[in-house]
Amino acid sequence: MAEDTRSQVRRKLEAQREETLAEISRLRNTLKCELEYDVEESDPDLWEREKILALLRNMEQKLESIAYALRSMDDGTYGICESCRREISPARLEALPHTTLCIECKALTERRFAPAPLKR
């Protein structure tokens, strides 16, 4: 990867890290408000809280991926799939600079970790 491309991607990743951190603290605040609010409520909105928690988990995962991508940039392995060690396509990196998996491995993990349908 060319040096100028790399510093461009790094800037993009750092900007994303900032955004993700801001989103995480926003979600944590929302959650805190929800909890305080629910003390007075006889019927807490668990569904809403679950939704925020799920979002929070997503954001934390994203943050990890971003940190991983930045680290791999330092040790020169950026753009290599974490799972199969093949190169991730440039188009995919362009769209998702923090991704650590190629499209095939990503599809596999999504199938494996697909959440069970909610029983209501």
Would you state the structure tokens that stand for residue 87, as one six-digit string? 């190169």
Q: Are 46 and 120 in contact (CB under 8 A)?
A: no
Confirm or reject binding of residue 84 to Zn ion (CB under 5 A): yes
Q: Which stretch binds Zn ion (CB under 5 A): 8-16, 30-38, 69-77, 102-110?
A: 102-110
Helical residues (DSSP H) of the chain, grouped into ranges: 3-40, 46-74, 90-95, 103-112
The single residue among 26, 83, 92, 96 that binds Zn ion, judged by CB under 5 A, is 83
Residue 102 binding Zn ion, by CB under 5 A: yes
**Interaction between residue 72 and Zn ion (CB under 5 A):** no
Q: Contact between 93 and Zn ion (CB under 5 A)?
A: no
One DSSP character per residue, 29-40 reads: HHHHHHHHHHHH
Q: Is 81 in the site for Zn ion (CB under 5 A)?
A: yes
